[in-house]
Structure 1
Amino acid sequence: MDHVTDLSLWGMFLEASIVVKLVMIGLLFASIWCWSIIVNKMLLFSRTEKSMDRFEEVFWSGQSLEDLYKNLSSRPTIAMGTLFVAAMREWKRSFESASSAFMGLHARIEKVLDVSIAREVEKLESNLLVLASVASAGPFVGLFGTVWGIMTAFTSIASSGNTSLNTVAPGIAEALFATAIGLFAAIPALVSYNVLQGRVARAQARMESFADEFSSILSRQIDHHVASGRDRAA
């Protein structure tokens, strides 16, 4: 390898072999991709958590379920709002159908709530697998670039016959630069993945708690309607 005097980051990149350059470029693109996912997810979780806070405040304020449904069904909803609209839609379909539609209504509402929760969680978890993949594979990809760079450096040193530190150090530095970029991509991805997974779990727990409470409310309403129907029949 030729004697390298420029040990800046850009200089080491330019002097690296084509394989190491490809590794570095790939890791940099992976890092940019991860940061775009991280920013997008942070904004999404912020909107979701604020939406759940607002919805719970309105839901428990005493507003009628019918009025709340009319308000939410006319615009896009997320998280708890989506669960509420889906359950109320199933509830209203049963009212608009024959009285026999009340049979199994509670089970259908619970199924609708479960499906809605799964879809909302899927939205929150989308692309998190990319962060996990970069976090686990990034250091190894960087290590591959380092090993390849060291092999190339030693091959060049053996060919030139010059083993002075000025000749050896630049090649080793270029090779280690690949590992540094791998860690640069992997560490934020790993930390962000763990943080975001924790927020997914908390959001899922809140939605499941609301679903249980709302299901209980509707169950009491179903029992009331069934009892009223029996009284009228008697």
Structure 2
Amino acid sequence: MSADQPRYERILLTNDDGIDAPGLAVLEHIAAQLAREVWVVAPLQDQSGTSHSLSLHAPLRLSEQGERRFAVTGTPGDCVAMGLAHLLKNNPPDLILSGVNRGANLGIETAYSGTVGAAMTGMLFGVRSLALSQAFSDRDAVPWAVAREHGARVVAQLLDMGWPQDVCLNINFPSTTPDAVRGLKLTRQGSGVLNGLSVRSEVDPRGIGYHWLKLERHGRPDQDGTETAELRAGHITVTPLQFERTHSSALAAFL
């Protein structure tokens, strides 16, 4: 598998860390091994935590950053919409890849993730979509080489498996070295490591108060077979996600 023998004609890339993020460069390297054409439509600035939100009350600005490379003044969901309903309206991509996110997207935290949200938006449009994230233990030394070396092989392997149209895949690469990866594991979402939200209140130099939200995380182990547990064990994890969130047992109790 190489850029000289692409599996697909066209892949659309996006992320939530912004068009200049190092993880997007890793994703472009991965996509170049899979497709003849690689299109990038990514947020102009960091949009982490925006889930699959859309900008319905503000205009979007689109700026060309290079050949088949565009920045959008909006969310990851906006980027997918602009890619599919505008830039590639008459030539839809075979696949959407979102990421590679700086940091793992695990458990219930995926509900906030813009990386996962972009993939879910692509799924809503009927395009096979995958979210990719790279775990780290040191924020200043993210092991991008793991996703860079294993990404194309993992994506190709998963595409060969196939999956239902109402599913997108959440992929996490472990915080290790490329040669220490223990292989691919299909996992359940689990609860992850999100422990709630905190609010930090400060005063700016003009004496006006402001507030900063922060996600709080814990270090407790998750159940066996979940993406958090398998990622910590050194595996590349893959969890199939869907929009359906109905709590079946609660519904049955109400009826």
- Greater helix share, 1 or 2? 1
Q: Taking CA–CA contacts closer than 8 Å with sequence separation of 6 or more, which of the two structures ends up with the larger relative contact order?
A: 1
TM-score, normalised with respect to structure 1: 0.20
TM-score, normalised with respect to structure 2: 0.19
